[in-house]
Amino acid sequence: MRKILIISTFVLFISTITFQHKTNAAAFTDVNDRYKESVAHMVAQGYTNGISSTQFGTNQSIKRIDAAVIIATMLGFSKTDPLADAGFTDVPKDRAWAVNALFAEGIVNGKTEKSFAAHDLMTRGEMSKVIASAYQLEAKTTTIPFTDVHPRYVPYVAALLEYNITTGKKPTSFGTSQNITRGEFSIFIYRGDQGDTPTGIEPPEVENVE
């Protein structure tokens, strides 16, 4: 009986590896041309897979813990790294490594000293800090065209604009308090990985893009 159980577990393990290996952007039915390159990049780099074999979850909002795992993976951290405990009591143990890594690097903060708010949805404002900090982007000027950006996010939003990572929802609105989607997140990461040089800040010409 023990032998049969071991064999069955091994087969399941191999099947899981095979499924993960075959996962690619072409398999997702919810990825349109706007997201095709960025999603393909995310999967090819091993940053993340879809929410199912046929869905990337492009239009779904992303949780703070899921974003942390993706960013930490992108930066090269792993579960085996010796990381100091950030002290948050609401982070799942199997993903605490990611939050610990990003907290140590100053990329993420908690909502309180003990709460990371792991399952809260991440806003575009929060993501601006995460992306700008992860890629170490600094803007030459903090003058931005948006009127809805809280002062604490202005340097990060300015950096994302200057480095062509993203634009606003409207000419004068960044959508700071709106939740960021997995599709938007993939574009942020993809452009961050391209390492574009800054071109200066200009008001966005197209509404509702990123």
- 125-135 pLDDT tens trace: 999 999 999 99
Instruction: Judge if 113 and 196 occupy the same domain.
Output: no
Return the bridge partners of 181, or none.
Answer: 61
pLDDT tier, 166 (very low <50, low <70, confident <90, very high otherwise): confident
Instruction: Judge if 191 and 158 occupy the same domain.
Output: yes
> What is the number of structural domains in the chain?
3
- 191-201 pLDDT tens trace: 999 985 443 33
Q: What type of residue is 52?
A: S
Mean pLDDT of the chain: 85
Instruction: Judge if 1 and 55 occupy the same domain.
Output: yes
Instruction: Judge if 13 and 87 occupy the same domain.
Output: no
- Say how many residues make up the chain: 210
Instruction: Judge if 127 and 116 occupy the same domain.
Output: no
Q: State which residues form the domain around 149.
A: 123-210
Query: For residue 35, which of 58, 12, 54 has the smallest C-alpha distance?
Result: 58
Instruction: Judge if 50 and 108 occupy the same domain.
Output: no
Instruction: Judge if 173 and 186 occupy the same domain.
Output: yes
Percentages (nearest 5) of helix, strand, coil residues in the chain = 45, 5, 50
Final residue before a domain boundary, out of 14, 43, 59: 59
- 100-124 pLDDT tens trace: 999 999 999 999 999 999 999 999 9
Instruction: Judge if 67 and 43 occupy the same domain.
Output: no
Helix runs in 23-93, H state only: 33-44, 64-74
Q: What type of residue is 27?
A: A
DSSP state of 74: H
120's CB contacts (< 8 A; 6+ apart) are 63, 64, 111
Instruction: Judge if 16 and 75 occupy the same domain.
Output: no
State the burial class of residue 162 (Cβ atoms within 10 Å of its Cβ: 0-12, 13-18, 19+). buried
Helix (H, G, I), strand (E, B) or coil at 185: helix
Instruction: Judge if 132 and 206 occupy the same domain.
Output: yes
Instruction: Judge if 127 and 208 occupy the same domain.
Output: yes
